[in-house]
Amino acid sequence: MRFDYAPLPSRVLFGAGRVSEIRDEVRRLGASRAFIVTTPGRRDLGERIAESLIDAAVAVHPHAVMHTPVEVTERALEMLQSVRADCIVAAGGGSTIGLSKALALRTDLPQVVVPTTYAGSEVTTMVGETQGGVKRTQRSPKVLPEVVVYDVELTFALPAALSATSGMNAIAHAVESLYAPDRHPIGGLMAEEGIAALARSLPAIASSPRDIDARSQAQYGAWLCGVCMSMTMGLHHKICHVLGGAFDLPHAATHAVMLPHVIAYNFAAAPQAMQRVARALHAPDAVTGIDALAASLPIRRSLEALSMPVSGIERAVELTMRDAYANPRSPDRRALTSMLERAYRGAPASAQ
């Protein structure tokens, strides 16, 4: 056995009510001028956090949007610099965390991140930014948040449908880590446990959105799946970034649609990984298991339902083929086209 394992140095606070500890964490970082980032829809949360920080908050910037457009980041950077902030507090989902990380990339300021979805990017060194309709990702230790606060009470406001798509997004991180070229045994354990926790909790949240035990399990699973993103991601993340950047599709919902199809695409090329996915899902095989989970959740199952134009399939294939990426099955234009056509129609996933 031979592998590398480099755990990332984040401080994690997990538990109900822990959002009240943000002020202490800002002080622990040696900071006193927090720039608070949210989306427009979570502005109230940003303002509550600002009130709890008292004199340690200098601005609330509720302008994060999907896919982290460069122009949005540049406007936020101007505001951050004008108020002389010395740390960033991000409260929200992937869009908010993406903006916070893009700002940290440019400033190297410390971050306290409060996730309210199951995106998982809060525990990675990865940041994706969109410019000119193309979403590009890069890794840098500068974007890894210093502190992550998982407060389950803040996830109650996440609607059941968004909880489901966000959770499927998290599962995708774990699935791809199982066949990553830099996979390792610890990551494999985290991936299986993360998939299992989300598979247990997401249907429960769909039927009872305020089930605190299910919400805690989902947050726990999302954390583990997020850590798995430290390994190299493959076709699933590549194609979802292509679709999101080119057609402005909702990020988590795109992951939820594509995951069964990419698992089917890679099924024969990664048998050990697929066995582990099936085991985590308590299913006879990975494709059947992920399809059954998706069918139990209130999510859209087709790219057409996400408003992707059918004419975009050819462009998506071209963009996916353009750059090299790690994946157990080599990119094949004809197979990718067939996969995207099935995903567009919402047809059942099929191992090709």
Domain ranges in the chain are 11-155, 160-345
Using DSSP's 3-state secondary structure scheme, residue 190 falls into helix
- DSSP letters, 104-139, are HHHH---EEEEESSS--GGGSSEEEEEETTEEEEEE
Residue 99's Cβ-side half-sphere holds a number of Cα atoms within 13 Å equal to: 31
**Mean pLDDT over the full length of the chain:** 95
Backbone angles phi, psi at 8, to 5 degrees: -85, 140
Question: Does the structure show a pLDDT above 70 at 148?
Answer: yes
- pTM above 0.95? no
* Domain made up of 160-345: CATH architecture: Up-down Bundle (1.20)
Identical fold, 11-155 and 160-345? no
Percent of the chain residues topping a pLDDT of 70: 100
**Segment 84-136, tens digit of pLDDT:** 999 999 999 999 999 999 999 999 999 999 999 998 989 999 999 999 888 88
pLDDT of residue 186: 95
pLDDT-derived band at 351 (thresholds 50, 70, 90) equals confident
Question: Does the structure show a pLDDT above 90 at 337?
Answer: yes
pLDDT of residue 4: 86
**Class of 11-155 per CATH?**
alpha beta
Question: Does the structure show a pLDDT above 80 at 324?
Answer: no
**Segment 213-256, tens digit of pLDDT:** 999 999 999 999 999 998 999 999 999 999 998 999 998 999 99
